[in-house]
């Protein structure tokens, strides 16, 4: 007999649905409930373990149908499947049918002896009778229309009209914030661009919001229908009032230089100036592996839908990894581009359209996905505004990633043995974010624009770029000498000696100006009244270490060791880790190197480490918790770090410390490794300092006790902020709550600094807040001894510190602690 599982946030609701459904068939159909959580104060929620147990209790070879209410219920159901044996997973079907009507229709069909596909069909068609009675002819979803949206007539609709002040309108980043905010509320949010006289669209769809074509000065009508309509509109209005956190006075655009290249010369090609600087190097072509899609008929539509969902989930994990690395390379502000990529994969309208194509047309997942992605891209291309048209590149980037996973293509890798100019048809934002500026000296493409996200990333990385060059460059042989000038938008193939001389002179002038800036960056960061603050770098590779040293870093305040564990099927060996740690230490010479031990979990899952799926991984087995649960893995890393410490200034930093007990446990294991190395005569730094990351509120509360057990603190404001504000910083729907300039976070920083100094240890800060020049004044006033930032931010942070005094910084910091919000803190700083 087919089993039915009801998954709901509310246990009372689920039990009521089960009772109603059971009465329809007199208990003939196995029914199980997985609903609510064991929290008396907040019982609403879902638990994947409950879902797994419910499925197991009604499982049969005839199949199990799982019906869910909304939100995380689907995620819990998906996670529950991973606990089942593969043979059973294939017989469990997650169904999007309405919970109440779908359950009743499903049990009746199951009791009548229908097979699983017929039961699913009955559940999905459960609203037809109701729709017919109400006179609704078509209840199917559509990407381009909001006609299918229904509202509750018993609940009033509230509305506001707002003027958009952002210089570039609702482009990807503010649109992402809008959608993430709208999705936080139960109310149905709809938007109309009054200036362009559009129809209403869904406010929780990133693509529909972006394709409204909203520019600076446009007026929007925003409606909210639901129990929290007022709160939803107030939150959205706050985004507009704060300009979505953007500064209209500056744009990431190429600076203007005095040097100019004049009349056309031999081999000269004209294009678009996208990123300043001169590059002279051999050409190397970059061509991603083409993806060929063939549409075919499928009978098992549910399997195709599951294939697409699996590919989307894998793509989400890949994008999270790109975002993490991009945050190091280019900073959080520009890395936020990838927040929009994640929202694209969560767009309910897009997913509904793909699902509908698979179900109604019985086509394979690849063809259905390609079709809906093409529709979305076309909707961007048809916009009048050229800047918004270019957002189609992001859609295609994400779409291709999912297609690659569906067809099983390996990612295209770019392995350069020596520096080169990259020639390509185009580069996606993901492609560009992964480039190594020490190897890719310039970019030359036949398409693209200066306002594309790829161009913005290239400028941030400092890679000269000329886009929109003629297609003839695609036929050049690898190794052909090319020169390009990213300011004038020109390129030269095998340039004449005279042209080469002018370009080399310009390049030297550029390099001289950069060296002058670096000379300042290599000086200590000292305030006007004589206090020095150490400026370290956050890195995630040997190449990052080289960039950090070149950029003036006085040491490495955070080596993220997770990069050693990525893109492989097993953990790195002790010798593999040793080689990397030694290479970085040698690059740093006598500078300090703080190595954070493995911090997996949360937003950094590694499948081969067998971390069981968790309902909330940020509150689960991550950081030091995981390492203490896997002492063999932990010891391997500690041995490598200790061996590398001999003759170098290496320190160990333990992540995610929440208690004194964890510090004792970690230091006990460290002592065991030290003893083992001593017994076999392997040298190491016996006096190596051990510190902890302060990123959990309990660590702040216990800071006075923890400070007596370790040699230093490093505050991780990225995680500390999300735990204080109870908001997942990787979840676009609540990420706007996580702001390290919030007074609650700043008070935690102050408390930590005071406890550390009272115990006679130093304290640094390695979160993204350290790289924000706006925050430097307050951090200096709070008494931080060290700031660790992404390498690109070192010059500006040092320059900012040199303009301040400790006395004025302390006064502003005291005022900041008395504010009510992060926006008020920013206003306080800007008014200085």
Residue 738: per-residue pLDDT: 78
Residue 264: per-residue pLDDT: 52
Residue 139: per-residue pLDDT: 43
* Whether the predicted pLDDT of 89 surpasses 90: no
Residues with active-site annotation: 453, 766
CA distance 290 to 85: 35
Residue 689: per-residue pLDDT: 97
CA distances from 370 to 290, 401, 429, 526, 780 (A): 14, 11, 19, 56, 51
Higher pLDDT, 803 or 660: 660
Instruction: Tell me which CATH code domain 301-407 carries.
Output: 1.10.274.10
The mean pLDDT of the chain is: 84
Quickly state the pLDDT bin for 246 (edges 50, 70, 90). Answer: low
* Whether the predicted pLDDT of 152 surpasses 60: no
For residue 158, list its beta bridge partners.
224
- State mean pLDDT over 364-377: 90
Residue 329: per-residue pLDDT: 63
Strands 157-163 and 532-539: unpaired
Considering the domain delimited by 3-133, tell me its CATH architecture: 3-Layer(aba) Sandwich (3.40)
* High-pLDDT (> 90) share of the chain, %: 38
Span 14-33, pLDDT tens digits = 898 888 888 777 677 899 99
* Whether the predicted pLDDT of 291 surpasses 90: no
Nearest to 826 by CA among 335, 327, 245, 235: 245
CA distance 220 to 777: 37
Residue 657: per-residue pLDDT: 97
Residue 341: per-residue pLDDT: 82
For residue 715, list its beta bridge partners.
694, 765
* R_g (Cα) of the chain, nearest Å: 28
Quickly state the pLDDT bin for 379 (edges 50, 70, 90). Answer: confident
Residue 442: per-residue pLDDT: 94
Nearest to 425 by CA among 293, 292, 288, 277: 288
CA distances from 268 to 284, 339, 440 (A): 18, 39, 21
* Whether the predicted pLDDT of 701 surpasses 80: yes
Quickly state the pLDDT bin for 137 (edges 50, 70, 90). Answer: very low
Higher pLDDT, 162 or 762: 762
CA distance 237 to 50: 39
Selection from 411-420, 525-534, 567-576 with the highest mean pLDDT: 525-534
Write down the residue that tokens 């400790």 correspond to: 806
Cβ atoms 655, 695 nearer than 8 A = yes
Q: Give the predicted TM-score (pTM) of the model.
A: 0.51
Higher pLDDT, 108 or 550: 550
Which one-letter DSSP state was computed for residue 46?
-
Quickly state the pLDDT bin for 730 (edges 50, 70, 90). Answer: low
- State mean pLDDT over 410-419: 78
Pick the CATH number of 157-245 from 3.40.50.620, 2.40.50.100, 3.30.1340.10, 2.60.120.330: 3.30.1340.10
CA 169 to chain centre: 22
* Whether the predicted pLDDT of 328 surpasses 90: no
Nearest to 507 by CA among 270, 269, 283, 276: 276
DSSP string spanning 667-702? HHHHHHHHHHHHHTT----TT--EEEEE-SHHHHHT
The first and second tokens of residue 127, run together, are 């609203």
Span 190-221, pLDDT tens digits = 998 888 887 788 888 777 787 777 888 888 99
CA distance 578 to 640: 5
Residue 136: per-residue pLDDT: 52
Nearest to 714 by CA among 784, 665, 664: 784
Quickly state the pLDDT bin for 288 (edges 50, 70, 90). Answer: confident
Instruction: Tell me which CATH code domain 272-288+413-497 carries.
Output: 3.50.30.10
Residue 693: per-residue pLDDT: 97
Quickly state the pLDDT bin for 141 (edges 50, 70, 90). Answer: very low
Q: Per DSSP, which regions of 678-815 are E strands? A: 690-694, 712-715, 762-765, 786-789
Residue 77: per-residue pLDDT: 87
- State mean pLDDT over 280-288: 90
At residue 35, the 3 state secondary structure works out as strand
Write down the residue that tokens 């009033």 correspond to: 156
Alpha helices in 589-729 (DSSP H): 624-629, 631-645, 660-679, 697-701, 703-706, 717-725
CA distance 682 to 778: 45
- State mean pLDDT over 73-83: 83
* Whether the predicted pLDDT of 421 surpasses 90: yes
Residue 66: per-residue pLDDT: 94
Strands 157-163 and 201-202: unpaired
CA 718 to chain centre: 12
Strands 440-445 and 465-467: parallel
* High-pLDDT (> 70) share of the chain, %: 86
Residue 369: per-residue pLDDT: 94
Quickly state the pLDDT bin for 243 (edges 50, 70, 90). Answer: confident
Residue ranges of the chain that CATH labels 3.20.20.60: 519-525+539-830
CA distance 765 to 752: 11
Residue ranges of the chain that CATH labels 3.40.50.510: 3-133
* Whether the predicted pLDDT of 364 surpasses 90: yes
- State mean pLDDT over 753-781: 93
CA distance 832 to 771: 19
Residue 748: per-residue pLDDT: 97
CA distance 807 to 767: 24
Phi and psi torsions of 692, nearest 5°:
-135, 155
Residue ranges of the chain that CATH labels 3.50.30.10: 272-288+413-497
Nearest to 815 by CA among 803, 827, 805, 804: 827
* Whether the predicted pLDDT of 644 surpasses 70: yes
Residue ranges of the chain that CATH labels 3.30.1340.10: 157-245
Residue 411: per-residue pLDDT: 74
Nearest to 93 by CA among 20, 4, 25: 4
CA distance 459 to 277: 9
Span 254-275, pLDDT tens digits = 333 333 444 455 578 888 888 8
Cβ atoms 11, 18 nearer than 8 A = no
Nearest to 138 by CA among 153, 151, 128: 128
Selection from 77-81, 268-272, 330-334, 418-422 with the highest mean pLDDT: 418-422
- State mean pLDDT over 244-259: 47
Pick the CATH number of 519-525+539-830 from 3.20.20.60, 3.40.50.300, 3.40.720.10, 3.40.50.720: 3.20.20.60
Residue 245: per-residue pLDDT: 66
* Whether the predicted pLDDT of 150 surpasses 50: no
Residue ranges of the chain that CATH labels 1.10.274.10: 301-407
Alpha helices in 242-361 (DSSP H): 301-330, 332-335, 337-346, 348-361
* Whether the predicted pLDDT of 770 surpasses 80: yes
């Amino acid at each position: 007999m087919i089993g039915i599982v009801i998954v709901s946030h509310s246990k009372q609701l689920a039990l009521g649905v089960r009772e109603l459904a059971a009465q329809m068939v007199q208990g003939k159909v196995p029914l199980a409930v997985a609903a609510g959580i064991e929290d008396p104060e907040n019982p609403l929620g879902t638990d994947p373990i409950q879902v797994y147990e419910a499925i197991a209790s009604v499982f049969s070879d005839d199949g199990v149908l799982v019906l869910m209410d909304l939100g995380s219920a689907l995620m819990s159901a998906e996670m529950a499947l991973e606990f089942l044996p593969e043979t059973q997973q294939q017989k469990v079907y997650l169904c999007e049918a309405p919970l109440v009507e779908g359950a009743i229709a499903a049990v009746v069909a199951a009791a009548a002896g229908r097979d699983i596909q017929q039961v699913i069909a009955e559940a999905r068609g459960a609203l037809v009778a109701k729709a017919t009675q109400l006179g609704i002819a078509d209840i199917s979803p559509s990407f381009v229309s909001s006609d299918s949206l229904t509202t509750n007539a018993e609940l009033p609709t509230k509305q506001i009209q707002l003027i958009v002040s952002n210089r570039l309108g609702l482009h990807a980043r503010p649109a992402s914030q809008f959608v993430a905010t709208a999705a936080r509320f139960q109310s149905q949010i709809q938007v109309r661009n009054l200036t362009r006289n559009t129809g209403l669209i869904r406010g929780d769809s990133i693509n529909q919001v972006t394709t409204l074509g909203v520019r600076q000065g446009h007026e929007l009508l925003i409606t909210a229908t639901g129990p929290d309509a007022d709160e939803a509109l107030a939150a959205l209005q706050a985004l507009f009032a704060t300009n979505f956190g953007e500064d209209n006075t500056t744009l990431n655009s190429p600076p203007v230089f005095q040097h100019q290249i004049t009349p056309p010369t031999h081999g000269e090609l004209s294009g678009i100036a996208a990123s300043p600087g001169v590059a002279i190097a051999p050409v190397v072509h970059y061509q991603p592996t083409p993806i060929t899609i063939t549409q075919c008929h499928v009978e098992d539509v549910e399997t195709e839908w599951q294939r697409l969902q699996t590919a989307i989930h894998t793509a989400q994990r890949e994008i999270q990894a790109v975002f993490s690395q991009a945050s190091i390379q280019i900073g959080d502000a520009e890395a936020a581009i990838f927040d929009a990529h994640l929202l694209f994969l969560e767009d309910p309208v897009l997913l509904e359209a793909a699902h509908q194509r698979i179900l109604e047309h019985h086509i394979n997942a690849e063809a259905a996905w390609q079709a809906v992605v093409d529709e979305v891209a076309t909707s961007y291309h048809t916009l009048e505004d050229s800047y918004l048209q270019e957002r189609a590149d992001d859609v295609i980037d994400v779409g291709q990633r999912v297609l690659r996973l569906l067809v099983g293509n390996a990612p295209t890798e770019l392995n350069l043995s020596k520096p080169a100019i990259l020639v390509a048809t185009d580069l996606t934002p993901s492609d560009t974010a992964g480039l190594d500026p020490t190897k890719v000296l310039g970019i030359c493409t036949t398409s693209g624009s200066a306002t594309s996200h790829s161009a913005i990333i290239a400028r941030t990385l400092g890679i000269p770029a000329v886009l929109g060059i003629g297609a003839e460059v695609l036929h050049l042989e690898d190794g052909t000498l090319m020169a390009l000038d990213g300011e004038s938008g020109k390129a030269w193939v095998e340039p004449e000696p005279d042209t080469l001389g002018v370009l080399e002179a310009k390049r030297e002038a550029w390099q001289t100006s950069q060296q002058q800036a670096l000379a300042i960056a290599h000086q200590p960061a000292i305030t006007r009244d004589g206090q020095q603050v150490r400026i370290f770098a956050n890195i995630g590779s040997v190449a990052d270490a080289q960039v950090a040293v070149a950029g003036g870093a006085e040491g490495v305040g955070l080596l993220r060791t997770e990069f050693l564990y990525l893109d492989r099927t097993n953990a790195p060996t002790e010798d593999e880790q040793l080689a990397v740690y030694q290479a970085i230490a040698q690059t740093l010479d006598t500078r300090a190197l703080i190595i954070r031990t493995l911090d997996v979990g949360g937003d950094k899952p590694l499948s081969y480490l067998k971390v069981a799926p968790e309902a909330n991984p940020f509150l689960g087995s991550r950081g030091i918790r995981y390492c203490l649960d896997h002492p063999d893995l932990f010891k391997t890393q500690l041995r490598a770090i200790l061996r590398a410490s001999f003759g170098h200034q290496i320190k160990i930093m333990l992540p995610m410390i929440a208690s004194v007990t964890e510090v004792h446990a970690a230091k006990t294991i460290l002592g065991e490794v030290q003893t083992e190395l001593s017994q076999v005569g392997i040298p190491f730094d016996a006096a190596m300092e051990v510190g902890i990351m302060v990123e959990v509120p309990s660590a702040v509360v216990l800071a006075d006790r923890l400070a007596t057990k370790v040699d230093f603190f490093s505050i991780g404001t990225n995680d500390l902020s999300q735990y204080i504000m109870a908001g997942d910083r990787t979840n676009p729907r609540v990420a706007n709550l996580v702001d390290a300039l919030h007074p609650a976070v700043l008070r935690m920083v102050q408390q930590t600094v005071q406890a550390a100094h009272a115990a006679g240890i130093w304290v640094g800060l390695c979160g993204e807040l350290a790289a924000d020049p706006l925050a430097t004044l307050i951090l200096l006033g709070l008494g931080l001894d060290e700031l660790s930032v992404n390498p690109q931010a070192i010059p500006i942070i040092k320059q900012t510190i040199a303009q301040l005094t400790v006395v004025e910084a302390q006064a502003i910091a005291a005022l900041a602690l008395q504010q009510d919000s992060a926006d008020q803190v920013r206003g306080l700083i800007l008014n200085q």
